[in-house]
Structure 1
Amino acid sequence: MSSVLHPDAIANLSPFVLLCYEWTLTLSEEVDRYWMRPKLSWAALLFFSNRYLTPLGHVPIVMETLMQSAIPTSVCQRMGMYNQAIIVIIQLIGGVVMATRVYAMYDRCRRILALMVSVAAIALTIGIWAILTDGSVAPHVPPPPSGRGCILPVSGASAARLSIAWGGQTIFDALIFGLTVWQSWKMHVPGSKRICGILLRDGALYFCIITLTNVANILTLMLADDNTRANCTTLTNIICSMMISRLMLNLRDPKLAFTTAAFTDAAFTSGAAASELCAENYPVVTTHSGQPLAQGEDTRSYDSLISSVQFADPLWDTSDTDSSLSLPPKALTSPCKRAYLYA
């Protein structure tokens, strides 16, 4: 039995191994920030769907890659359709998470929501069209040296359709990235050197990685040969899932919540829970221990204190919120510079 793996098989297996490794690295954070919550929220459902549908959905793909014998072409074609369906589902979940995050950052602005929904609908329509109408015949390619698994080449016509589909997804991702960077910069406190922390917390860096990965996938589809055109597709899908998981874990990280002198959104939720705080007039936030955290202080000296702060579940319906942060009632109505706190 030959131990040689076809490049297409390596392209399927390597991202899956990376996904499993990333899962082990963040398992403790997942347990603390999601499994230990008393009630299940919509945000948690999205997180678990993205977190576990991705590895489970790719198990059949990994299994056919490791098959010890050649698989009939008809079975491989059905596996190809299954792979495309998994891609659409995972990208759809990621899109919902990204759009909801931006919707929260813009304080439930309906214009922003309409813009994102319109672009997402166009991208989804193009993607479904590209999958369902692809009737081109793939060129004949000799079987891989290993003689096992499914190695289906992608013709130029199919690659063009897939490039258009991924192009629509890339436009949506670029829109999310641009909106996030713009709002993160607006919420940045002048003089603060923690802009990288803000971009990390708000997801801008993750959205940038997703966008760049999509661009690399499109270039591979357009420029590579028939045997290697689809080699970046699985990687792109898994990278998107990993970045979404990281984003949702970071949004419940108390240390990343306090990245500026003013208070910013520390959870994944809608603007219904946003309070317009005047940090300069109400500089004290009290934790469960009763110890104040003053505005402008270097929160790095309060690592143990901040880690004990419990934020409310990131719900769209935030009527059942946690009172872990005691806020002066006057802060809700006092006119001042806008600083969002989702707690």
Structure 2
Amino acid sequence: MPTYTLNVSFLQGVQANRYSALAGFVVLYYDYCLTFHDEVERFWKGFAFSWGSALFFINRYFSLLGPIPAIVEYFGSPSAAWSVTSSKDVTEDVIPSLQNWPICALYLTDQQANHSAIAWGCMMAFDTLVFILTVNKTISSHNTWKGSLFHVMLRDGSIYYGIMALTNVANIITFLVVAPSAKGLYTITANVTASIIISRLMLNLRTQVRQMSPPVLPISLGIAVETDSQTICSA
């Protein structure tokens, strides 16, 4: 296992990793506050269980609760926990004076970074496959006109894929070429970005579905309702 000393560049890498994670956490919770009203309007009012709504809530709230352990890892002071969970070899060989640190050492070995890069590469390949299938389905269904549900899926899916592709490429690069203490610099950012975009895509789809649904007119026996300057009378 390679040995790294506690020099300035190592500390800078750790700090860059922490600041990048902090930015991701702030964006995640801030975006939740921005879209909470839309969530109430589109999902909570007149709630009816469906697989779409279930997956939306799982993505939405697991994304909010899941980062809590990561926040503790990045910004807590786990020196008692480190002494219990870490091995003697890592403490002595990788960072000799780690026990004097007030934070976790956020570093990866080259082997760990390579494995992570492969995993993220597979995720990017999966996103690419889903995007290709979405485009193919939209074109074959001849439903690309503006205002259709497929048009919204294609538009939002293209935005999702473009942003995630750039984020994943940047994250993979950090696993392969940067210093050990800064490897995976954009991992939190990539996860947060995926969660936010999926939530917004679902909200946009719900908005489009409601706009496409025919309006319910309050017509009852003997009551006339005026709509679009015409009088609709019940039989």
Q: Percent identity?
A: 33
2:55 counterpart of 1:46: yes
C-alpha distance in 2 between matches for 1:288 and 1:193: 20
Residues 24 and 191 (structure 1), Cα distance of their counterparts in 2 relative to 1, 3 Å cut: closer
8 Å CA contact 2:120–2:168 kept in 1: the answer is yes
Greater alpha carbon shift after TM alignment, 177-186 vs 54-63:
177-186
Greater alpha carbon shift after TM alignment, 231-240 vs 207-216:
207-216
C-alpha distance in 2 between matches for 1:227 and 1:37: 49
Deviation at 1:32, TM superposition (A): 1.0
2:44 counterpart of 1:35: yes
* Partner in structure 2 of residue 240 of structure 1: 194
2:29 counterpart of 1:20: yes
Equivalent position SS for 1:220:
helix
C-alpha distance in 1 between matches for 2:97 and 2:24: 23
C-alpha distance in 2 between matches for 1:289 and 1:45: 30
8 Å CA contact 1:76–1:150 kept in 2: the answer is no
Residues 142 and 253 (structure 1), Cα distance of their counterparts in 2 relative to 1, 3 Å cut: farther
Deviation at 1:193, TM superposition (A): 10
* Partner in structure 1 of residue 158 of structure 2: 204
**After superposition, what is the alpha-carbon deviation per residue over 1:116-173, rounded to whole angstroms, capped at 9, x for unaligned?**
xxxxxxxxxxxxxxxxxxxx969724779x9422123111111111111111111111
Equivalent position SS for 2:66:
helix
Equivalent position SS for 1:43:
helix
2:186 counterpart of 1:177: no
Deviation at 1:52, TM superposition (A): 0.8
**Mapping 1:121-200, distance limit 5 Å:** 140-141=94-95, 147-187=101-141, 197=152, 199-200=154-155
Residues 197 and 46 (structure 1), Cα distance of their counterparts in 2 relative to 1, 3 Å cut: closer
Equivalent position SS for 2:183:
coil
Q: Relative contact order, CA 8 A, sep 6+: which one is greater? A: 2
8 Å CA contact 1:71–1:150 kept in 2: the answer is no
Deviation at 1:10, TM superposition (A): 1.1
8 Å CA contact 1:250–1:256 kept in 2: the answer is no
C-alpha distance in 1 between matches for 2:52 and 2:203: 11
* Partner in structure 2 of residue 323 of structure 1: none
Deviation at 1:222, TM superposition (A): 0.9
C-alpha distance in 1 between matches for 2:90 and 2:32: 38
C-alpha distance in 1 between matches for 2:62 and 2:108: 26
**Mapping 1:163-312, distance limit 5 Å:** 163-187=117-141, 197=152, 199-201=154-156, 203-254=157-208, 286-289=214-217
Aligned partner of 2:20: which letter?
A: A
Higher helix share: 2
8 Å CA contact 2:127–2:161 kept in 1: the answer is yes
* Partner in structure 2 of residue 281 of structure 1: none
Deviation at 1:25, TM superposition (A): 1.0
Residues 34 and 191 (structure 1), Cα distance of their counterparts in 2 relative to 1, 3 Å cut: closer
Deviation at 1:225, TM superposition (A): 1.2
Aligned partner of 2:134: which letter?
A: T
C-alpha distance in 1 between matches for 2:169 and 2:211: 31
8 Å CA contact 2:59–2:199 kept in 1: the answer is yes
Q: Normalising to structure 2: TM-score of the pair?
A: 0.71
* Partner in structure 2 of residue 64 of structure 1: 73
Aligned partner of 1:199: which letter?
A: L
Structure 2: gaps of 5 or more residues: 1-11, 219-227, 229-235
Structure 1: gaps of 5 or more residues: 79-135, 259-284, 291-304, 306-343
Answer with 1 or 2: which has the greater Rg: 2
Matched residue pairs, number? 203
C-alpha distance in 2 between matches for 1:15 and 1:23: 12
Deviation at 1:256, TM superposition (A): 8.7
Residues 11 and 255 (structure 1), Cα distance of their counterparts in 2 relative to 1, 3 Å cut: same
8 Å CA contact 1:7–1:228 kept in 2: the answer is yes
Residues 23 and 211 (structure 1), Cα distance of their counterparts in 2 relative to 1, 3 Å cut: same
C-alpha distance in 1 between matches for 2:144 and 2:132: 20
